[in-house]
Amino acid sequence: MLVDSFLDYLRVERNYSSRTVQSYEDDLRQFEVYFTNLDAGLTWTAIDVDIVRQWVTSLMDESYTATSVNRKLSALRSFYRFLLLRGLLKRSPVQNLKGPKKKKPLPSFVKEQDMDRLLNDKPADDDFVGVRDRLIVETFYVTGMRLSELIGLDDKDVDMEARIVKVTGKRNKQRLIPFGDELHQDFAAYVRLRDVAVPVRSSGAFFVKPNGDRMYCQLVESVVKKRLSEVVTLKKCSPHVLRHTFATSLLNHNANLEVVKELLGHESLNTTEIYTHTTFEELKQIYKQAHPRA
């Protein structure tokens, strides 16, 4: 009866969709089955925090993800808030209960030898689109810029003499990223070819389509996916993977974390620190492969 009243409240007073209400019901019924199997005499108003903790543990043992468990706990919290509002109990058993922490997935990245194979060992492109596409991958890898930053790049943002590229990041924050001789040469070669192959352009965009228009997100993503798929079997081959690869490569070669943060345009050092976990994971793999007792 209590659950039915709560579901009616969600439908009528909160105007929740039938799908959402069904999700709440499934989670609440699952918990109800659990606690009645523990003790047939237990009721919703007699539940204490220990029983909920046991349920959470059982869910984790059954390989439910932290996201799924936290969703179920959220349903319980909403239900018990409803009971509190109706004066049917004085304290919620899940009021101060914290759910399991979500595991932060380590960012995917491409190994240096695979990037070398892609950029150095593949046959050289000689047509405009081929040269452009290779340079797009190289630019992501060498500068660590975001997809939106690469698409927004204009000729005026690339200082060939100083070997610095100016990008406009989140909240229109601008930053300067240095680049080396190799990218400088490839930038220059691309510009020479582009100015001949695409003499008329609709804007000052650095990377353009054959018709002179600025490139767009899906096109750049498809370019990166096609190129990376030639050398790796990652589930996701995206510009962001190349940004992760840039950061990981710097840290593997002893770059200062604060410097990497500035190059990536991160607001907080906490965001950058995830890459230290990536490099440590790689270190563990090398150790396992190399040490006879690993």
Side-by-side strand order, sheet with 158-159: 158-159, 164-168, 174-178
Candidate list 163, 184, 225, 240, residue with the active-site label = 240
Beta strands in the chain (DSSP E): 158-159, 164-168, 174-178
Candidate list 24, 80, 141, 275, residue with the active-site label = 275
Question: Virtual CA dihedral for 253, 257, 258, 260, nearest 10 degrees?
Answer: 60
State yes or no: is 266 an active-site residue: yes
Taking the C-alpha atoms of residue 50 and residue 96, their distance in angstroms, rounded to an integer, is: 12
Distant-in-sequence contacts of 54-61, Cβ < 8 A, 24+ apart = 55/31, 56/97, 56/99, 56/100, 58/34, 60/100
State yes or no: is 184 an active-site residue: no
State yes or no: is 170 an active-site residue: yes
- The answer to whether the CB of 108 falls within 8 A of the CB of 235 is yes
Candidate list 146, 214, 244, 261, residue with the active-site label = 146
Candidate list 170, 173, 277, 284, residue with the active-site label = 170
Candidate list 132, 134, 243, 244, residue with the active-site label = 243
State yes or no: is 277 an active-site residue: no
Taking the C-alpha atoms of residue 285 and residue 216, their distance in angstroms, rounded to an integer, is: 37
Residue 9 burial (10 A CB sphere; 0-12, 13-18, 19+):
middle
- Tokens describing residue 123: 């046959």
**Catalytic residue list:** 146, 170, 240, 243, 266, 275
